Amino acid sequence: MSNFSDLIDGYYRFRGTEWLEERERWAELAEGQSPRVMVIACSDSRVEPATIFGSRPGEIFVVRNVANLVPPFETGGGLHGVSAALEFAVTVLKVSEIVVLGHGACGGVKAALAGNLKDAAPGEGGFVASWISLLDEAREKVIAAHGQGEEGQTALEQEGVRTSLKNLMTFPFVKERVEAGELQLHGAVFAIKDGKLRVLEGDDRFEPA
Amino acid sequence: MSNFSDLIDGYYRFRGTEWLEERERWAELAEGQSPRVMVIACSDSRVEPATIFGSRPGEIFVVRNVANLVPPFETGGGLHGVSAALEFAVTVLKVSEIVVLGHGACGGVKAALAGNLKDAAPGEGGFVASWISLLDEAREKVIAAHGQGEEGQTALEQEGVRTSLKNLMTFPFVKERVEAGELQLHGAVFAIKDGKLRVLEGDDRFEPA
Amino acid sequence: MSNFSDLIDGYYRFRGTEWLEERERWAELAEGQSPRVMVIACSDSRVEPATIFGSRPGEIFVVRNVANLVPPFETGGGLHGVSAALEFAVTVLKVSEIVVLGHGACGGVKAALAGNLKDAAPGEGGFVASWISLLDEAREKVIAAHGQGEEGQTALEQEGVRTSLKNLMTFPFVKERVEAGELQLHGAVFAIKDGKLRVLEGDDRFEPA
Amino acid sequence: MSNFSDLIDGYYRFRGTEWLEERERWAELAEGQSPRVMVIACSDSRVEPATIFGSRPGEIFVVRNVANLVPPFETGGGLHGVSAALEFAVTVLKVSEIVVLGHGACGGVKAALAGNLKDAAPGEGGFVASWISLLDEAREKVIAAHGQGEEGQTALEQEGVRTSLKNLMTFPFVKERVEAGELQLHGAVFAIKDGKLRVLEGDDRFEPA
């Protein structure tokens, strides 16, 4: 496992190999980015979108937070980190696709499913509880159908992606472009255990890619 | 440049090579993550922490948002995505180091420096404007010393990292662990153009790694 | 062909691969060097002793000058760069072997054989002329036996190595240790063209290694 | 650690792999060398320029002596090994860059800093003492500012490089070409301990590459 000094070693490896081999590409990238896809993924250390999708620097604009959540459109009350990234990706970079990428064994989903942090104080689980309250509605639906066991976990990982996709559509600048056919939204879940990627198909089911 | 169907191709390449070669490691990872480092990086498509640091799946817990910002500790008013990730990384995963990773040619920093989005509506730059207001204090300091040109841009990329590091220390559960020697905070800036990583040293200057 | 910026790239490659892989060895080397062999080789860009002998950092102490020459022991008159290196290698590092490594297509030997720089001014060949006058005696002997053609060139490359070996023995601190069996002297010539290394054998002939 | 018979083994490894793989390149190299860079480095066994710079045979013309020193231009009094190599590299090979490469933990610099060999006889440190007297001026300056401890050692390693660069400019054929923009001079110091290369920048400071 790496600590910061290992990461510095890793930087030297990168700088001494990949960077040099793609020096010209990096010079181009320094001029500006023009990714075509935005990916919203979990902060989980096992779910690097660039690794899972084999993308190269410059190809995907990435937001990562606990449980790959997108809050709904809301203009008041404080900072909106995901909304800012979304606004930048859609209206400035003009990405043509957004992917919400969930994953198996997600700690955030697990906490949502368990529901045992509800009264935790900030710093003792309270921030996580508040954040994953975005899954409250999905949670109820999932528990009713699948319970709180392993099946419920998988179902909520998928339902969470659906929730974020729905929330994306509450942003006027997203909805408008989707309806104009300029922007596509995708959902996917990566199961760490068997390395399988399931993609949300037209009929609202997750199917292996 | 990739679109979603290219990413699916990329997934098959990953699944057909790296995943298979490390199947056992993935089986272990499915049991749970235990990263030692949390990285807060920008959503910019050119700045993949796992690429720059050459880290492997499971090694770094990653938050990515516009301009790699950490808001200060605050308990009221809405959702706190970064705070939730921070709480999870520090109190549950018990990472021992946090790295704030800035980068050259940062669009968020550029917008902060220009200051021309101040009155933009949500969806027209307003979300970004509100988010990067986290840099307001840093911005004034930087403009006074370096102006709004290229030198100011570089200075604000660095000052933004310092701001996030300061904000990290406003979280009681961070401050406490830092003071107990259980948690270390680091700042770094990756210059895309020449591929150089500068690290914040003890005397508050960024020096090449 | 490399210029300085290519060498900096090369440094990053080295630092990001070999250096990291042998980090522990480098930490040991930082404590001090203890090479067992001193090599006196030509400055010629094609004759890297570490490449030809496949040695690792820390293994050979290397002097490189035009035509791999060792001036005779002399205490007066100016600086003695080779003598200083020799003194350090033999009396401080206590190397147990010294190798004089000549090579094919040597420009210094060629100039010595041609003898056309005799009256050149410093900066116009005068420094080289003065330096290769160390080969004057060898030159006369070689021309008498082999002429000034290709055969003479090869012969003088070999005879030059013999000259340097003889000059090494004029240093009291070398002679003494050689006679005490504590130090061995070797001569070799690397032919660039066919990649053959010829070693000076007991009977004073150069034979393929 | 290697002795001469290990070096012969190493030669066979080189001849049996790298040489064979680059046979055509070696055939070309046999026709003549045309390096673009001259490197003046220390004889120290840990500081192989070709390793540190990852250069290939034919790319760098190399002088190696104790403490990587260049004596000033001087036409009288004996042999001038470095001057001969310099004359050959600049006026015949027409290199376009010269790099003076110092290094950490340099024994020659250490002896210069200590100053305890001043009255040593030839063969007992006298040759080294005389050679490193080239650092006398640098030594005084460094001791005044940094003392004779570790800080002084690092400072003198750097100041020694500056001294050699200054001495290079005393050669009319160097000065002339530098002023005509045909030749560039560079200074660098390789720190063995952390593998960091520091390069002399325009403002006369050594900065990580």
ipTM of the complex: 0.97
pLDDT range class, residue C86, cuts 50, 70, 90 = very high
Is C43 touching D (CB cutoff 8 A)?
A: yes
Nearest CA-CA distance, residue A57 and chain B, Å: 5
In the complex, which subunits touch D with 3 or more CB pairs below 8 angstroms? B, C
pLDDT score at A77? 66
pLDDT score at C203? 83
Distance CA D34, CA C45 (A): 8
Indicate whether D106 pLDDT > 70: yes
CB atoms within 10 A of CB D114: 13
Nearest CA-CA distance, residue D166 and chain B, Å: 27
Contact C161, C201 (CB under 8 A): no
Residues 179-208 in B contacting D (C-alpha not used; CB under 8 Å): 207-208
Chain B residues closer than 8 Å to D207 by CB: 208
pLDDT score at A35? 97
Indicate whether D84 pLDDT > 80: yes
Indicate whether C90 pLDDT > 70: yes
Asked whether the beta carbons of residue D26 and residue C66 sit closer than 8 angstroms, the reply is: no
pLDDT score at B1? 57
Is A8 touching C (CB cutoff 8 A)?
A: no
pLDDT range class, residue D77, cuts 50, 70, 90 = low
CA closest to A13 among chain C residues: C16
State percent of chain A over pLDDT 70.
Answer: 99
Is D1 touching C (CB cutoff 8 A)?
A: yes
Is B2 touching A (CB cutoff 8 A)?
A: yes
Asked whether the beta carbons of residue C91 and residue D125 sit closer than 8 angstroms, the reply is: yes
Residues 88-117 in C contacting D (C-alpha not used; CB under 8 Å): 88-89, 91-92, 96-97, 99, 104-105, 107-108
pLDDT score at C64? 98
Select from A11, A57, A89 the Cβ nearest to the Cβ of B48: A57
The correct answer on CATH 3.40.630.30 for the domain covering C33-208 is no
Which CATH code fits B34-208? 3.40.1050.10
Contacts of B124 by beta carbon, 8 Å cutoff, 6+ apart: A91
pLDDT range class, residue A1, cuts 50, 70, 90 = low
**What Cα–Cα distance (Å) separates residue A87 from each residue in A35, A92, A100, B123, B127?**
14, 7, 16, 6, 7
Q: Which residues pair with B14 in a beta bridge?
A: none
pLDDT score at A2? 72
CA closest to D187 among chain C residues: C4
Chain B residues closer than 8 Å to A114 by CB: none
Domain ranges of chain A: 1-32, 33-208
Q: What confidence tens digit (pLDDT) does each residue in D3-52 have?
A: 999 999 999 999 999 999 999 999 999 999 999 999 999 999 999 999 99
Distance CA D191, CA A84 (A): 45
CA closest to C69 among chain D residues: D81
CA closest to D73 among chain C residues: C122
**Average pLDDT in chain C:** 95
pLDDT score at B202? 85
pLDDT score at B77? 66
pLDDT score at C1? 57
Select from A13, A84, A124 the Cβ nearest to the Cβ of B54: A13
Q: Which residues pair with A185 in a beta bridge?
A: A98
* Residue D60 amino acid letter: I
* Lookup: tokens for D154: 């690092």
Q: What confidence tens digit (pLDDT) does each residue in B82-102 have?
A: 999 999 999 999 999 999 999
Residue C5 has, within 13 A of its CA and on its CB side, a CA count of 3
